[in-house]
Amino acid sequence: MSTKYVYTFGDGKAEGKADMRNLLGGKGANLAEMNLIGVPVPAGFTITTEVCTLYNQEGKDAVIKLIENDVKAGIAATEKLMNAKFGSKGEAFPLLVSVRSGARVSMPGMMDTVLNLGMNDDAVKIVAEKSGNARFAWDSYRRFVQMYGDVVMGVAAGKGEHNPFEVEIDKLKAEKNISNDTEFSAEDLQELVRRFKIVVKTKTGKDFPTCPWEQLWGAICAVFDSWMTERAVLYRQLNQIPEEWGTAVNVQAMVYGNMGNNSATGVAFTRDAATGEDIFNGEYLINAQGEDVVAGIRTPQEITIEGSRRWAKMQNISEEERAAKYPSLEESMPAAYAELNAVQQKLEDYFHDMQDLEFTIQDGKLWMLQTRNGKRTGTAMVKMAVDMLEQGMINEETAILRLEAAKLDELLHPVFDKESQSKAKVLTKGLPASPGAACGRVVFFADEAEEWKNRGEQVVLVRLETSPEDLRGMNVSEGILTARGGMTSHAAVVARGMGKCCVSGAGEIVVDYHKRSFTVKGVTINEGDWISLNGSTGEVYLGKVATTEASLDHDFRTIMDLAEKHTRMYVRTNADTPRDAKVARDFGAKGVGLCRTEHMFFEGDRIDAMREMILSDTVEQRRIALSKILPMQRSDFEGILEAMDGFGVTIRLLDPPLHEFTPNEPESQKYMAEKMGISVEVVKEKVDALHEFNPMLGHRGCRLGITYPEITEMQARAIIEAACNLKLKGFNPKPEIMVPLVGTVKELRQQANIIRCTADVVFAEKGVKVDYMVGTMIEIPRAALTADQIAEVAEFFSFGTNDLTQMTFGYSRDDAGKFLPEYIKKGILKTDPFAVLDQEGVGQLVQMGAQKGRSTNSKLKLGICGEHGGEPSSVIFCDKVGMDYVSCSPFRVPIARLAAAQAAIMHTNK
Ligand code: ADP
Ligand code: MG
Ligand code: MG
């Protein structure tokens, strides 16, 4: 059997279905499924994602030849169902189609749709005649020339220029003295078509194609080409979507929202994508087509009365004015609204998730053009999952698996401080498009947002509206403010997807790109000025507004309780201070996975004692210095063990290269010389002697403890004394002493001996004993390779995947910034291996270390303490290799807990 490249749908039948999204793309699969469940969808067909892959491998001509007959058959089937003819000469209504891209996962705004394809000088006349509506015919034609010119023929605006087609529209509006494009007459639109064709010719040197088939192949190929454009590549990078997936192409009969005042087009969400509330909402425009609603050209109206009233209130518009000028769909087209409301309910019930819908009403009749699981903010994500669980729509496992762990981050982020906010000057108010608090300096261009950000500035991107070209700039901005566009505008949808604060449609601001400023109610804000945005209320403030911690609500707790119930691993935190440990414990951390002792030495005058120790010549001198450090360390450890009372606390012995602590400035050298009663020259010599060519691989980690055993002894004493003191006070401390940078079992054995002997001495002195463990970091490849030997001495392993990644790849952590971005851009690496664990390479060492370790010590406790411990995909990997816990920074604890629960569910389901 030959491969099937084209799948048709229409009139309640379809060759594809929802679970074929890999082959048909999300849009195509759901168009098929909507047909199957009796939702009205215009007929058409889907060209598979496999064809996209072939296109990239074998080129255009080969692919056209391969699918030519199937596409012809698809058009013929569509003609039949829609009772129209592609390339009609007058014998039937012309079949016009849309050509739409659709990847497996939705990539908002990345692939451009062409509408009304098939239009030409003949078709426009037949459409005008047969519909009895010349204005509609010419409106469709001018839209087609504009979109096709833009998407397929590459007519584009230069930087700072306006889109050349929009320029023509504005010119004609001025000539005709009208302000709204709905006021154009049929003749005006005909004139626009003429001018648009001239624009195409001057900008591209080519005539606008008149043959519908030529148009169709041009559009299909443009969709395939768009898969490899820079912005598509960037979106895939940001969202970790593999290039191999490809996009499908959907060719679908047009339905017309621009047929007059009984026609409309719109988008809707079955629940509130910003807050998660179970409220049907959306926007529509009368007598409009396609992306008009999201393009922000006209102000879209709300779908429900309730939504419309809320909107009017925010815009300070009276109820009378609202009802007259901006009625809801519920009011203006009650029958179509009722049908839409029934369909949205049906689709949500069917897909068991919040749906993002696109629809068109043609002369009173509803057509659905798309449904997909809607993007949502972190807050909405959590609320919807909890609500749907409580509504019995989904079970606990689904509720957990559906959450995007990394997005919990948004809930933990600061919000504006109430007091500071109440004092701030409100400049204006727009729509609360994506919640959060943002504060930054104003920039007007996306590329400049990037430049500023690279200089270390915090920016807010201010635009009339955004488009896919702005993606990079949006990604680096604290927040986004637009003058135009509604809750479903590009800016709003993309910002919500990114979890970024956004205020859209702030109609009072007047943006001047040339002057690089905007004005609002007489106030001018220039590039570089500070503003603050409240994405939850839509308010825009002058200057910086202070922020405070977010408070965690019922839904968040419900999710965390569920995670607790389903998880196998537990989560610890990386904390060097009692305060961090407490924060993490409140987030549900059960212990400290990594307490770095050296971090404690940069505070106050502690560094002096440390420097004295480093600069010492003899063991005796060193011991004197160490005896000054001992009480400081002991009290630190008491604090942290108390904060994590009852849970294990892994304390790592001194790890970093000593030169990090040496006095390098002449002044501090002089100071130390005086303090120690030696000459400056001697201090300087010692500092020079400590210099290393490759400190990352130098005299650090347990190598310090091997060469200066008294350091290990002091640290072990400080830890055990702290634990004994707490125990005497009635606490239950559980220290786990970790030897860093072990490469051979002998290093560990020597260090463990010192620790255990010291502990026995302290127990005897104190007359009390505590439970403690001795273990090691697995961070040198040799340690992973010989983990079976090491586990005979170690009671626990903690995988230090930062250093393990450094040494496995041979990438210096301190220098990788110079080449890693390029590696990712060129596709050599998919992600930064210091952020996302490289499961293929480094992961093998982790897995081997775990297996070998447990083979000689079945009780060996396993955990991870690198940055990866808070990164969801890495956490899932840790579960797979059987770790007992992961450890991460305090604010990532909830993310890790959720990811751990997801891992447990995934791995038991298997
Ligand atoms: P995106 O992936 O950017 O959402 P779509 O392919 O969904 O792009 O197309 C954008 C819009 O174009 C749709 O929301 C719809 O309004 C309009 N559109 C697409 N196909 C048709 C069609 N067959 N008839 C009428 N409008 C259409
Ligand atoms: Mg689009
Ligand atoms: Mg769409």
> Ligand 1 in contact with 265 (CB < 6 A)?
yes
- Which pLDDT belongs to residue 86? 97
Residue 71: band (very low, low, confident or very high) from pLDDT cuts 50, 70, 90: very high
Determine the distance separating the centroid of ligand 2 and the alpha carbon of 53, expressed in angstroms: 22
558 is annotated as contributing to ligand binding: no
Quote the crossing angle between the two packed helices 619-643 and 709-728, to the nearest 10°: 40
Fold of 567-657+692-909: TIM Barrel (3.20.20)
Is pLDDT above 60 for 722?
A: yes
Q: Whose CA is nearest to atom 15 of ligand 1?
A: 290
What is this structure's pTM?
A: 0.83
Mean pLDDT of the 786-795 span: 98
Is pLDDT above 60 for 108?
A: no
Q: Whose CA is nearest to atom 9 of ligand 1?
A: 113
Q: Whose CA is nearest to atom 7 of ligand 1?
A: 370
d(CA 362, CA 241): 36
> Ligand 1 in contact with 616 (CB < 6 A)?
no
Determine the distance separating the centroid of ligand 1 and the alpha carbon of 664, expressed in angstroms: 64
Helix (H) or strand (E) holding 1: none
For a pLDDT cut of 90, what percent of the chain falls above it? 75
Residue 897: which of 241, 273, 412, 389 has the closest Cα?
412
Place of tokens 């419900």: 558
Q: Candidates 95, 111, 115, 285: which one to mutate for ligand 1, based on the most atoms within 8 Å of Cβ?
A: 115
Domains of the chain, by residue range, sit at 1-119+212-254, 264-376, 414-548, 567-657+692-909
Q: How far is CA 864 from CA 249, 535, 683, 879, 902, in A?
A: 44, 36, 39, 11, 18
Helix (H) or strand (E) holding 774: strand 773-778
More confident residue, 731 or 908: 731
More confident residue, 748 or 235: 748
Which residues sit opposite 284 in a β-bridge? Answer: 266, 301
Among residues 52, 865, 878, 888, the one annotated as catalytic is 865
Worst-scoring range by mean pLDDT, 514-518, 559-563, 653-657? 653-657
Mean pLDDT of the 396-415 span: 89
Determine the distance separating the centroid of ligand 2 and the alpha carbon of 171, expressed in angstroms: 26
Determine the distance separating the centroid of ligand 2 and the alpha carbon of 467, expressed in angstroms: 10
Residue 263 contacts residue 363 (beta carbons within 8 Å):
yes
Is pLDDT above 70 for 603?
A: no
Helix count and strand count (H, E) for the chain: 37, 32
Helix (H) or strand (E) holding 392: none
Is pLDDT above 60 for 282?
A: yes
Residue 465: band (very low, low, confident or very high) from pLDDT cuts 50, 70, 90: confident
Is pLDDT above 70 for 497?
A: no
- Which pLDDT belongs to residue 910? 61
Q: Whose CA is nearest to atom 23 of ligand 1?
A: 254
> Ligand 1 in contact with 113 (CB < 6 A)?
yes
Structure token pair of residue 125: 């006349």
Worst-scoring range by mean pLDDT, 37-51, 394-408, 439-453, 660-674? 660-674
Worst-scoring range by mean pLDDT, 105-109, 309-313, 323-327, 412-416? 105-109
- Which pLDDT belongs to residue 110? 56
Is pLDDT above 80 for 499?
A: no
Q: Whose CA is nearest to atom 19 of ligand 1?
A: 98
Mean pLDDT of the 658-662 span: 79
Residues counted in the chain:
910
Is pLDDT above 70 for 602?
A: no
Among residues 52, 490, 702, 878, the one annotated as catalytic is 490
820-863: pLDDT as tens digits: 888 987 889 988 899 899 999 999 999 999 999 999 999 999 99
Indicate which atom in ligand 1 lies nearest the CA of residue 370: 7
More confident residue, 298 or 391: 391
Residue 362: band (very low, low, confident or very high) from pLDDT cuts 50, 70, 90: very high
Indicate the SS3 state at residue 358: strand
Ligand number nearest CA of 290 is 1
Residue 874: which of 852, 902, 909 has the closest Cα?
902
Fold of 414-548: Glucose Oxidase; domain 1 (3.50.30)
Residue 639: band (very low, low, confident or very high) from pLDDT cuts 50, 70, 90: very high
- Which pLDDT belongs to residue 901? 98
By the CB criterion, residues less than 5 angstroms from ion ligand 3 are 358, 370
- Which pLDDT belongs to residue 792? 98
Structure token pair of residue 51: 């064809």
Q: Which residues contact 114 (CB under 8 A, 6 or more apart)?
A: 98, 99, 144, 147, 148, 151, 152, 219, 222
Mean pLDDT (the chain) is 92
The structural architecture, per CATH, of the domain 264-376 is 2-Layer Sandwich (3.30)
Is pLDDT above 70 for 274?
A: yes
Worst-scoring range by mean pLDDT, 355-359, 772-776, 825-829, 867-871? 825-829
To which CATH superfamily is domain 1-119+212-254 assigned? ATP-grasp fold, A domain (3.30.1490.20)
Residue 473: which of 450, 490, 501 has the closest Cα?
450
Is pLDDT above 90 for 198?
A: yes
Mean pLDDT of the 85-110 span: 88
Q: Candidates 9, 46, 86, 98: which one to mutate for ligand 1, based on the most atoms within 8 Å of Cβ?
A: 98
> Ligand 1 in contact with 290 (CB < 6 A)?
yes
Is pLDDT above 70 for 470?
A: yes
Determine the distance separating the centroid of ligand 3 and the alpha carbon of 249, expressed in angstroms: 13
Ligand number nearest CA of 98 is 1
